[in-house]
Structure 1
Amino acid sequence: MLYRGGVLGSAIVSLAMMCQASVAVAEPDSYPATEQIGVTTLRLVDSDRADPWKPSARRELNVTIHYPTANADSYPLADTVVPWSPNTVLPSQSHLNAPVDGAAGALPVLLFQPGANLPVQTGTSMAENLAGHGYAVVSIDDTHGSFPGTAFPDGHIEPFEGSAGEDFVTASAARVGDIHFVLDELSALTHGSDPDADGAALPAGLGTALDMSKIGMYGHSLGGIMTFYSDPRVRAGVSLDGWADPAQPGELTPGLAADPERPLLFLLRPAADPATRRQILDRMCAGRTGWTRELVLAGTRHWDFTDLDYLPRSVMSAPLLSDQVGAIAPERAHAVVNAYLTAMFDHFLRGRPEPLLDNPDPGFPEITFGA
């Protein structure tokens, strides 16, 4: 069964608490290898596709791109404020619309999708870390499926549609279309087009920096499941605590096509029911011939794979939220996740040897091979 775990209700409670009071949010102890990260946000409109949550409108996407930059002190830091909230999920370390660092060379492209109902801001720190290692990280918000709403660069906000709360059949179909459309738009960008619906100026060097021959994808929960079913152009994927039974009615949209040869890494929390999860993963991976690893990160629960893990424990100890984070410290959870994300894409997109993917490592005793 696709992990729901009261995600919608928990998200509403958590974000409502953030809206009601100013809370101090912890920050990671360390940031990426590069000195500075740039970020830009595009508004993309798919004129050929209706929005599944609002059929009277065309599908409109908020797409955030993190990338390496340099000498960007004159560019302001971006914010990660959730719509209608005075608070950020996690303070951004990225400079808004700063030019791409030409010395970084060609940038492999990584797509990111958050969990169901969660805003894309819950993945900021991981996107910044990967950008710091020489990737262009393209985060795709789920318009009308993200609580409490999606804010676009022109200032307008598309609110969450309640029907999106538990409808993963529609959500998975929408996300497959989003991935395909965004990759098409990024390809157009590399050929000199500006795909932004408002014609906004793009950061200098962005189009020429993207290496569309090296595309990976990672995501949390439903976003992680979509790495399994994403566009054929995606060459490697990482699912952060996401799995689903494709044969179970109501789990995913029927007819999703998985690439059996795409390398996939599952990075999972300890299972409450290991036998059931084993059955689901076996059905999900039936017929796979590509490289596959299943790793379990001790001490984690579902939100430890997101920036919500950095919310104060006084917030996360509230009813409905306490079972979303585990005993592991947020800084340690993210250090481990970031290490395996980087290793996965460095190996499969850049061809670098990465022993971390093949055997237990004494530097990461929290990791167990096999789900």
Structure 2
Amino acid sequence: MRLFEILLTLSCFMLFIDLWFVKRNTQKIGVALGMVSGVLLVVQLLAEGYRWQMLLIYVLTSLLILIVLFKHVKKSKTIKTGKLLKYSIASLIIILTALSVCLMVYLPVFHLPKPDGPEKVGTQTFHLTDSSRDEVLTEEQGDKRELMIQIWYPTENKDNKKREFLFPEDKEMFKKYVQTYSNSLNLPDFVFDYWKYSKTNSYKDVEILPSTSPYPVVLLSHGMGTSRVLHASQAENLASHGYIVVTIDHTYSTFATIFPDGRVTDYRTKMKTIDDRRKVGEIWTQDVDFVIDQIEKLNSGAIESQFQGKIDLNHMGAMGHSFGGATAFNTTYLDHRIKAGINMDGSLYEVENRAVIKKPFMFIRSGVFKAWLEDFKNNTESDNEVIKQLKDELNIMKNVIRHQGNVIYVEETQHFNFTDLQFYSPLIKLTGITGDINGSRGSWIVNQYVLDFFNKHLKGTGGDLIQGANDKYPEVKFVEPGQLSKAV
């Protein structure tokens, strides 16, 4: 809950107690409480903005203020009601207030956690079109593959701009964006309206921080059906430590991607078979390759931008979550420009001819990975195509460990603890897609290991955390090749 929301709720409750249960010969305190509540109501609406979770508080506060004014004008000492009616109304008010508080707590106006690096973070978006590729995820003829990317980078923010909102600030664009989300979940549009208040820790279109050497770059892919929005805090954290981070929206595989002309694309990807996964994976891998090509043009000046000469093309990494993590692995394996990569809880879609990856790579899995390994040891369906693919994936993990890489899992996490979704609402945990770990703690752990890995392999510093168990992070467990061998 935000500051004025808390104050307004408390003043409303105190006003109710004073009117219903406090007996006195003067109404001065009641009138004072009414005036304070009225002021807080106006200030909250102007300073923090209306949100539907507080509707009951707004109505109750307004009604109670009217009752105070009525009593003051009529010079009435008490409200003439029977005890049964009095306590029934009191109970109803308490229930409605409690309901409103629950809505505010469990559907909060959230902001992204502050990055822990020394630098401020700037951000800029780019609309890219790959004229060499036809769009195969739509039925429209002649469509070319279009992408939206967002670049995060260190900045001084000399112009003292305000923090950027997480979602589109333009009202029409935000409305279209929210409609796409609400339609996919069969919910009314207003449910997500309060997202417009959520802020990042970044500053839009500010100048990049001058540096004597170019910045290493990390490309970040989201999971299937989500979007780059769910990885903003990870991008910010890396950027605050001196990285340029490029988050990619893989069009038609997101909940929503919004383009500068106001178009909003939705989810249209079909993945029913392993072959479908491979075909879509190839599209995503081509997306990343194309983005790398554009990064090279930004750095050379072929595309005019402030990033000319600021990007270290010799120290480039890839990471991603879920399907995006599998894409990070595939890109790291195939593209010589990628020097190191991270897969956050993603099952691979391509394992053929991928057995030996000679670049540093890290698999970060959720807490169920240990139990999954135990169950897998007892599975005898070696002829099953899915089981065979999973065994090949475990063999890849073994080889990753033998070639400067890591396989770790974080206890008490689930699949979406590797995204910002864990900050959206405490109710997310009830669905089982995030684990028992505190969301802030889970995010912090993942950020520390991601940073340590890229620091070692892209900057040549650090690397202490990825050496083995650490008392500061007892939730993190390192997988040894022997554990994987038993499962295979």
Structure 1 residue aligned with 2:436: 327
> How many residue pairs get matched?
332
CA distance in 2, matches of 1:209, 1:274: 43
Tell whether 2:322 aligns with 1:221: yes
Structure 1 residue aligned with 2:267: 160
Deviation for aligned residue 1:162: 5.2
SS at match of 1:163: coil
Q: Is the 8 A contact 2:163 2:201 kept in 1?
A: yes
CA distance in 2, matches of 1:89, 1:169: 38
Superposed, 1:280-295 pairs within 5 Å as 281-285=393-397, 290-295=403-408
- Go from structure 1 to structure 2 and tell me whether the alpha carbon gap of 1:337 and 1:89 turns closer, same or farther (over 3 Å shift): farther
Q: What's the CA shift string for 1:280-329, capped at 9, x where partnerless? A: 53244476563221111011000001000112113542xxxx11010101
Once the two structures are overlaid, the 10-residue window that deviates more, 336-345 or 151-160, is 151-160
- Go from structure 1 to structure 2 and tell me whether the alpha carbon gap of 1:228 and 1:75 turns closer, same or farther (over 3 Å shift): same
Q: Is the 8 A contact 2:321 2:346 kept in 1?
A: yes
Identity of aligned residues (%): 26
CA distance in 1, matches of 2:219, 2:355: 17
Q: What's the CA shift string for 1:256-288, capped at 9, x where partnerless? A: 868711111111112242243983532444765
User: Given residue 435 of structure 2, which amino acid in structure 1 is its aligned partner?
Assistant: G
Tell whether 2:154 aligns with 1:68: yes
Tell whether 2:136 aligns with 1:47: no
Q: What is the TM-score of this pair, normalised by structure 2?
A: 0.63
CA distance in 2, matches of 1:211, 1:351: 14
Superposed, 1:205-354 pairs within 5 Å as 205-230=306-331, 231-244=335-348, 246=350, 260-270=357-367, 271=369, 272-275=371-374, 276=376, 279=391, 281-285=393-397, 290-317=403-430, 322-354=431-463
CA distance in 2, matches of 1:329, 1:172: 32
- Go from structure 1 to structure 2 and tell me whether the alpha carbon gap of 1:111 and 1:284 turns closer, same or farther (over 3 Å shift): same
Of residues 258, 275, 279, the one that matches 1:170 is 279
CA distance in 2, matches of 1:263, 1:58: 34
Q: Is the 8 A contact 2:112 2:199 kept in 1?
A: no
Structure 2 residue aligned with 1:3: none
User: Given residue 260 of structure 1, which amino acid in structure 2 is its aligned partner?
Assistant: I
CA distance in 2, matches of 1:71, 1:59: 33
Structure 1 residue aligned with 2:121: 37
SS at match of 2:245: strand
- Go from structure 1 to structure 2 and tell me whether the alpha carbon gap of 1:112 and 1:124 turns closer, same or farther (over 3 Å shift): same
Structure 1 residue aligned with 2:293: 184
Cα RMSD over matched residues? 2.7
Superposed, 1:88-99 pairs within 5 Å as 91-99=199-207
Structure with more of its chain in strand, by fraction:
1
Of structures 1 and 2, the one with the larger relative CO (CA 8 A, separation 6+) is 1
User: Given residue 291 of structure 2, which amino acid in structure 1 is its aligned partner?
Assistant: V
Tell whether 2:464 aligns with 1:355: yes
Q: What is the TM-score of this pair, normalised by structure 1?
A: 0.82
Deviation for aligned residue 1:108: 0.3
Structure 2 residue aligned with 1:119: 227
Q: Is the 8 A contact 1:123 1:307 kept in 2?
A: yes
Which sections of structure 1, spanning at least 5 residues, go unmatched? 1-17, 195-200, 248-254
Q: Is the 8 A contact 1:62 1:152 kept in 2?
A: yes
Q: Is the 8 A contact 1:228 1:258 kept in 2?
A: no
Tell whether 2:242 aligns with 1:145: no
- Go from structure 1 to structure 2 and tell me whether the alpha carbon gap of 1:150 and 1:370 turns closer, same or farther (over 3 Å shift): same
Q: Is the 8 A contact 2:284 2:327 kept in 1?
A: yes
CA distance in 2, matches of 1:356, 1:336: 10
Deviation for aligned residue 1:31: 2.0
User: Given residue 309 of structure 1, which amino acid in structure 2 is its aligned partner?
Assistant: Q
CA distance in 2, matches of 1:263, 1:274: 23
CA distance in 1, matches of 2:197, 2:469: 32
Q: Is the 8 A contact 1:112 1:137 kept in 2?
A: yes
SS at match of 1:168: helix
Q: Is the 8 A contact 1:117 1:164 kept in 2?
A: no
- Go from structure 1 to structure 2 and tell me whether the alpha carbon gap of 1:208 and 1:258 turns closer, same or farther (over 3 Å shift): farther
- Go from structure 1 to structure 2 and tell me whether the alpha carbon gap of 1:142 and 1:363 turns closer, same or farther (over 3 Å shift): same
Structure with more of its chain in helix, by fraction:
2
CA distance in 2, matches of 1:140, 1:160: 15
- Go from structure 1 to structure 2 and tell me whether the alpha carbon gap of 1:246 and 1:161 turns closer, same or farther (over 3 Å shift): closer
Which sections of structure 2, spanning at least 5 residues, go unmatched? 1-52, 54-102, 168-173, 179-191, 378-389, 481-488
Structure 2 residue aligned with 1:58: 144
CA distance in 1, matches of 2:477, 2:412: 11
